Amino acid sequence: MSAAEKPTTSVWTRPRRPQREQLTREQIAAAAIELLDADGIEALSMRKLGTRLDAPATSLNRHVANKDELIQLVVDDVYGEGQVPAAADRTQWRAAVTRTATDLRAMTLRHPWIAPELGRVGLVHIGPNALRMSSGLLAQFEAAGFPTDEKDRAVGTLTAYVIGIATSEAAYLSLIARSDRTEQEWVADLRPAFDEATQQNPRLREGSSARQDVHPQQIRDNDFAYGPDRVLDDLTARLDA
């Protein structure tokens, strides 16, 4: 079989095993997520997962052929934590889309390991939970009045923003977690060095000084909300035009 004819492998093209077997996909995904949340992506291996589940590798391989398929499975399982957008409504589409964007960010911050893994899974998510979320978003943009080709791009643009900023945010929070300090302590410790480094950059100091008494989490929340608001402002203006 040539490379062009070789089928694309995915956990979602693999037939689901009978429920009577020792392990289920759900059990595998739950155990893998526990391992990832506790120890990070570097700690994940089929061997360690088998040990955690007290199951031989052959039992795992009936459901997931390798680590790549395992990542596909757990990423979609985490997508299932988000709330699927409510029934599409022309008057409420923007609020529904904003809630979904906020859920997606929260999902990424709860599981910091997932941010780089979204890139490994790729741009096309065909797991059931990811499909439900994407379909729900598309329904909202459709209800708002966007044509088919533009609603797809609108969902892609919004999702790219959310995942991009959440990836950076998750890396930042992981760095702080490794320091054994709170976020407030970490920021306060860094401020003298930042002030010195920006002596010749008054614009940077001006923005930082204006927010130095605001809790860092509130700053992150406000900064995140700015992005979806501006994306949706522009999209709403296109509808109005």
**Co-location of 18 and 128 in the same domain:** no
The answer, yes or no, to whether residue 197 has pLDDT greater than 70, is: yes
**Co-location of 46 and 97 in the same domain:** no
CATH code for the domain of 232: 1.10.357.10
Using CB atoms within 10 Å of the CB of residue 225, give its burial: 0 to 12 exposed, 13 to 18 middle, 19+ buried: middle
Over its C-alpha atoms, the chain yields an Rg (Å, rounded) of: 21
**Co-location of 128 and 217 in the same domain:** yes
| Last residue within a domain, chosen from 53, 79, 105 | 79
Q: How many structural domains compose the chain?
A: 2
Q: Does residue 47 lie in a domain region?
A: yes
Q: Does residue 221 lie in a domain region?
A: yes
Q: What is the pTM of this model?
A: 0.84
Q: Does residue 117 lie in a domain region?
A: yes
- pLDDT for 20: 54
**Co-location of 75 and 115 in the same domain:** no
Q: Does residue 48 lie in a domain region?
A: yes
Asked if 119 and 105 count as a contact pair (C-beta separation under 8 A), the reply is no
Percent of the chain with pLDDT over 90: 46
**Co-location of 74 and 97 in the same domain:** no
User: Could you list the residue range(s) of the whole structural domain that residue 60 is in?
Assistant: 11-79
Q: What is the pLDDT of residues 148-181, one digit of tens each?
A: 889 999 999 998 899 889 989 999 998 998 899 9
**Co-location of 40 and 126 in the same domain:** no
Name residue, tokens 């490379």.
3
The mean pLDDT value for 209-220 works out to 86
Q: What is the pLDDT of residues 100-134, one digit of tens each?
A: 999 999 999 999 888 877 755 555 567 899 899 98
